[in-house]
A and B are shown apart, each in its own frame.
Chain A
Amino acid sequence: MKRNGQVLLTVEHITKQFGGVVAVNDVSFDVNKGEILAVIGPNGAGKTTLFNIVTGILAPSSGTVRFNGTDITGKKPYQIAQLGMTRTFQNLEVFTNMSVIENVMTGAHRNMKTSFLQAGLRVPSVKKEEKAVEEKAMRCLEKVGIAHLAYERAETLPYGNQRLLEIARAIAAEPALILLDEPMAGLNDEESRWLVEVILQLRKEGLTFVFVEHDMETVMAISDHIVVLDNGVKIGEGTPEEIYRNKAVVAAYLGEEETVC
């Protein structure tokens, strides 16, 4: 592999079985720092299962996941998040019982210190921390372009803005890696273009992205590296150009996709 750079996430020989079904079969790949890596594949290829293993929602049957030098296999989702890996959800998981900015402030949880007792007694450090985190949250909202909606109730936001809100919440945690689960799903062309711009800008600021996506146009446009799954097996990986030229991939996925489109 001719990619150079520091490895941030390593997926090593991950296998996941559900009863007799092998959803993910011996999949390995690396994610480098500052890279945008896409995981693609037809429905049922095992993308979501792989995603859930990396984020700790599912434990793999075998194999290891290493993040920033730490073995995170079998760790709980919140522990993995605390190490600096956050995510967004395909079916939006915005905190509908909060305002927009509170959603983002909640994202900053891992870098804050206030304990239950300190919060209840409102010791001076809490006030300072609150002010700092509110400013930080505002900056995150500015980055995704919805700062003007900061004090709206989150559930009143249209779908596209809720997706942006999830990204703002994810970056508020100051993570090293963000996983995006089908970020383009449900967005119109204009919203998709803006989201691509946001992601590219954030990458420029040093963030690393892994995303699962159906929208091939986006994948080809913004990915540095692509991993292709089919029936739980990795059938190819490489740059977008390499994926275009990969016959196995085209047969399994792209060909099919193009006849649909």
Chain B
Amino acid sequence: MHERRLGTWLFALGILLFPLIVHSNYLLSILIMIGFYSLVCNGLTMLMGYAGQISLGHAAFYGIGAYTTAYLSATHGWSPWLSIIAGAVISAFIAFIVGIPTFKLKGHYLALATLGFGVIVYTCFKEFTSITGGMNGFFGIPSIKLFAWEFSNDARFYYLIWTVVLLSLLFSQNIIHSRVGRALRSIEGSEAASDAVGIDIMRYKLQVFVYSAICASIAGSLYAHYVTFINPQAFDAMLSIYFLIMVITGGASSIWGAVIGSSVFVLLSELLKEVVPLVFSNAGGEFEIVFFGVLLVVMLIYMPNGLTAAWKKITGKWRTSTTLSPAAKGGGGR
């Protein structure tokens, strides 16, 4: 068995056992939040870490997923499963249309264009009040049912979100170790050389962008069904930046970076909520922004490849994201 599969199965086992060992709804709710963000960051890691394309607009897809499923399931009585899929299809379509002009841009320009896209979508959430409820928010989103089983409490929802996260991690892992994954990574490595071996760069950029949009959309949809109330402020540009911080913190060149980055982010922000009021009695949420801003800068300076890469460096296991290790190959060519 491949080493990478073993890691995944161990991780799955840990996820499975956690609620049986730890009986705390508070911890479960934190892990559920980590699950939403892990799903988004999984797609973003593929886009940013592997294909090397930045996006500062993924809160938009998170929001499109949330509002689509809210509108279709609450207002039109669709089954949440169908409305989640509808959200993913709409997000994929929008990502495709937006991606065609956007991915002609690179670097800072791409960052600004995706940021702009996020701001536009945020404004739509605010202004299309007949669908979204505007700043008053959208109430009464039904919870998800599987036959008679309702994902209404934290323990059940925990298993739902982490099943989706695991499936998406497996999907991404499969992508990475294939023709498609190499094509994506080649774009980050050298676009000139990708071109020279016949890789249609635009096509792969679009594919991975659409994939990351679908991940974000499904995460947003599940979030909506979890909290049952959404409001545009949950999907503003700040969230896109937080996604970026999570991906960078975790390390964009490993699929586990998505989970690690999301965990670090959620745990730190919970910790801040506890600690900051002790120091500054009348402090608001802005301290969080300052703290994560500083964290991003520090990460970029001292650990530009994120925690996973730093960890691999410490343990001396640094190698490319491949599992093609000589040991696993029985010495072919050695």
The 8 lowest CB-CB distance pairs between A and B, nearest first, are A95-B189, A81-B198, A119-B178, A110-B198, A93-B193, A77-B195, A82-B198, A147-B333
Q: Specify which chain B residues have a CB less than 8 angstroms from the CB of A130 in the assembled complex.
A: 177-179
Binding site for B on A (CB under 8 A): 55, 57, 76-79, 81-82, 86-87, 89, 93-99, 101-102, 105-107, 109-110, 112-116, 119-122, 126, 129-130, 133-135, 138, 141-142, 147-148, 150-151, 153-154, 166, 169-170, 172-173
Please state if A78 and B200 are interface contacts (CB–CB under 8 Å): yes
Stretch at the interface among B242-250, B284-292, B296-304, B323-331: B323-331
Q: How far is the CB of B173 from chain A (nearest CB, A)?
A: 9
Contact (A153, B172) CB under 8 Å given A86-B196, A102-B182? no
Q: Specify which chain B residues have a CB less than 8 angstroms from the CB of A93 in the assembled complex.
A: 190, 192-193, 196
Contact (A114, B178) CB under 8 Å given A101-B324, A148-B333? yes
Q: Is B228 an interface residue (CB 8 A)?
A: no
Contact (A120, B175) CB under 8 Å given A93-B192, A99-B320? yes
Please state if B324 and A134 are interface contacts (CB–CB under 8 Å): yes
Q: 26 A-B Cβ contacts within 8 A?
A: A78-B201, A81-B197, A82-B198, A93-B192, A94-B189, A97-B321, A98-B189, A99-B319, A105-B179, A105-B182, A106-B182, A109-B197, A116-B175, A119-B178, A122-B174, A130-B177, A130-B179, A134-B332, A135-B332, A138-B333, A142-B333, A151-B325, A169-B197, A170-B197, A172-B197, A173-B198
Please state if A148 and B334 are interface contacts (CB–CB under 8 Å): yes
Q: How far is the CB of B108 from chain A (nearest CB, A)?
A: 21
Please state if B322 and A102 are interface contacts (CB–CB under 8 Å): yes
Q: Is B180 an interface residue (CB 8 A)?
A: yes
A172: nearest chain-B partner, CB-CB: B197
Assembled-state Cα–Cα distance A169/B194 (Å): 11
Q: Is B185 an interface residue (CB 8 A)?
A: yes
Q: Specify which chain A residues have a CB less than 8 angstroms from the CB of B177 in the assembled complex.
A: 130
Contact (A81, B178) CB under 8 Å given A98-B320, A116-B207, A151-B329? no
Q: How far is the CB of A209 from chain B (nearest CB, A)?
A: 15
Contact (A138, B332) CB under 8 Å given A99-B319, A99-B320, A106-B182? yes
**Total residue contacts A-B, CB cutoff 8 A:** 142
**Per-position binary interface string of chain B over residues 149-181, scored 1 when its CB falls under 8 Å from any chain A CB and 0 otherwise:** 000000000000000000000011011011111
A80: nearest chain-B partner, CB-CB: B198
Q: How far is the CB of B43 from chain A (nearest CB, A)?
A: 12
Please state if A119 and B175 are interface contacts (CB–CB under 8 Å): yes
Q: How far is the CB of B141 from chain A (nearest CB, A)?
A: 29
Q: Specify which chain A residues have a CB less than 8 angstroms from the CB of B322 in the assembled complex.
A: 98-99, 102, 151
Which of B190, B196, B200 has its CB near the most chain A CB atoms (within 10 A)? B196
Other A-B contacts than A98-B189, A119-B180, A122-B174, 5 sampled, CB-CB below 8 A, are A78-B198, A98-B320, A109-B183, A121-B171, A170-B197
Q: How far is the CB of A125 from chain B (nearest CB, A)?
A: 11
Please state if A141 and B174 are interface contacts (CB–CB under 8 Å): no
Assembled-state Cα–Cα distance A87/B192 (Å): 10
Assembled-state Cα–Cα distance A105/B320 (Å): 14
Q: Is B83 an interface residue (CB 8 A)?
A: no
Q: Specify which chain A residues have a CB less than 8 angstroms from the CB of B333 in the assembled complex.
A: 138, 141-142, 147-148, 150
